[in-house]
Amino acid sequence: MSATLKFCLLQDRFAVGAIEQNADQIIRLAQQAISEHEAELLLFPELALTGYPPEDLLLRPELQQRVEAAIDRIAAAELPALLIFGAPIIDKGRLYNSLIGVQAGQRVLQYHKRALPNYQVFDEQRYFTAGQQPVVFDLKGHLVALLICEDVWQRTMLQQLQQMDVELVLVANASPWYKGREQQRLAQLQDWAEEFGLHLAYCNLLGGQDELVFDGSSFVVDNSGQLVAQAAFAEASILPVELNEQELTGAWEHWPESQEAAIWQMLCMGLADYVNRNGFAGIVLGLSGGIDSALSLAIAVDALGSERCTAVMLPYAYTSDMSLEDAQLQADYLEVPLLQLPIHPAFEASMASLAPHMPPAQAGDVTEQNLQSRLRGLMLMALSNRQNLMVLTTGNKSEMAVGYATLYGDMCGGFNALKDLLKTEVWQLARWRNSLGLSIPERVIDRPPSAELAPGQKDEDSLPPYPILDAIIQGHVEDNLGYQALVDQGLPSEAVAQVLRLIQRSEFKRQQSPLGVRISKRAFGKDWRLPVSSGWILQ
């Protein structure tokens, strides 16, 4: 005869490397869940004690001593509920990605992750040994099992738990987000739950960690595949659930109604967590009057507040009156100060110094264009140094793919909210944000894009039209398609050849670009690892 079991999923931010602070946070959240929901069982995310991914911090010889001290600290709180949280554990000389259970001052259980992902952004086989055994325990008459993230995608593990008559499976996760990921997880686990007759409780990490963003979106599905409890998307949440003999019930919070809303929340969270965790007072960016910097500023204001954002217009001879007007208009919309720092004097002085050492060239050649961009980067970095403001870079994925950016110029900065947004997605997201309230002048969205580094310059003078360019980039980068497969999809052969050539030639730039929020299934970063020097020819 089983009794009612009250448990909670606790999704929150756990900063990488902040082991002592994370331990205190686990205790505080556990006390809150016990007080507010009379919880008897508490599940925290994967590697909550160290944050995820800790990467080569796992190789530090002092790590395990600090982890063990933190586990003792949590146990010493002597909380009445069973607390289950993730931590790296050395067991018989091997390092495991583990779940630890403590209750009433004692360490009562331990589970080692059995499926170690080694694809996309994951390289857990670099650090961990795979566990071998399931862990199943009885709590108030309910047979409960533990899994960690990748484990739950393995049919054989779920079949094994079904054969052991397990009723409830607790899954601790650090599953990074990309577009549509929260719905993919839910749909798959609903299918698993119905197929194997298991209640599945999925607790996910929250927050931005460098380029990765974790959405939370924890949930519980019953053994018929019905969604019975759902935590917030991109917000800290304690999700209470009750399990009795007849049913599983829980609380419910809504997820975003559109993909644009989800992307916006994750961009804002990724930027805010990076700025805050690295101790910056705010951000500074070059506001050019173009769509990329305009969208970047809108994201920054929503993420940090207008009082923590500074915009700078850095005009030169090719900067249009339209750009000056639109930059000022947006600054007024968002109540952000706009500094005016013309680069004419610095440009003329630089060219005069260089003149004796360079052959003559036509005005506006690529050297002069890049010098303009680099002088803007110099000014922004000076403001960053003096005011403790992080320079927010504003290039998009389309530009980074084909190298349409200047090293130490518009690529200069600490973080880039748009790094994984294609240009067509930039326009789409800008229109969506304006539907909630005008934050970007409409003319900025509608005008043809230009770097304004030469007379009459337009992006499409050098590149295919953005809808074609983005289709090629998405097919090649995200879907790993080659030349012939892209052409077979109906894309122009000359454009495909040009773009693939530019992608390959620009690898040296991408490897020197700032971090940025990953929102696609393959971004330029952890899951894009290509050599700079290579004789490989893209086909």
For residue 453, name the pLDDT band (cuts at 50, 70, 90). low
Task: Please report the domains of the chain, with CATH numbers, ordered by start residue.
Answer: 5-245 (3.60.110.10), 261-460 (3.40.50.620)
Measured CA distances, 457 to 178, 206, 450 (Å): 34, 43, 6
Measured CA distances, 144 to 25, 75, 139, 141, 167 (Å): 25, 21, 7, 9, 6
Residue pLDDT, tens place only, 30-41: 999 999 999 999
Task: Identify the residue whose tokens are 């200069």.
Answer: 412
Please give the biggest Cα pair distance in the chain. 91
Query: Encoding tokens for residue 377?
Result: 């980067």
Is 412 labeled as catalytic in the residue annotation?
Answer: no
pLDDT at res. 451? 58
Q: Of the residues 113, 419, 423, 526, which is catalytic?
A: 113
pLDDT at res. 420? 96
Residues 6+ apart with CB under 8 A from 440: 291, 294, 295, 298, 330, 333, 430, 433, 434
Is 149 labeled as catalytic in the residue annotation?
Answer: yes
- Is 494 exposed, middle or buried, given 0-12, 13-18 or 19+ CB atoms closer than 10 A? exposed
- Is 151 exposed, middle or buried, given 0-12, 13-18 or 19+ CB atoms closer than 10 A? buried
- Is 118 exposed, middle or buried, given 0-12, 13-18 or 19+ CB atoms closer than 10 A? exposed
Residue pLDDT, tens place only, 482-511: 999 999 999 999 999 999 999 999 999 999
Q: Of the residues 8, 149, 309, 412, which is catalytic?
A: 149
CA distance between the termini of the chain: 65
Is 460 labeled as catalytic in the residue annotation?
Answer: no
For residue 275, name the pLDDT band (cuts at 50, 70, 90). very high
- Is 357 exposed, middle or buried, given 0-12, 13-18 or 19+ CB atoms closer than 10 A? exposed
3-state SS of 108-145 is EEEEECCCCCCCCCCCHHHCCCCCCCCCEEEECCEEEE
Residue pLDDT, tens place only, 185-243: 999 999 999 999 999 999 999 999 999 999 999 999 999 999 999 999 999 999 999 99
For residue 481, name the pLDDT band (cuts at 50, 70, 90). very high
Model confidence, pTM: 0.93
Whether the CB-CB separation of 94 and 182 falls below 8 Å is answered with no
Q: Of the residues 46, 167, 211, 399, which is catalytic?
A: 46
pLDDT at res. 27? 97
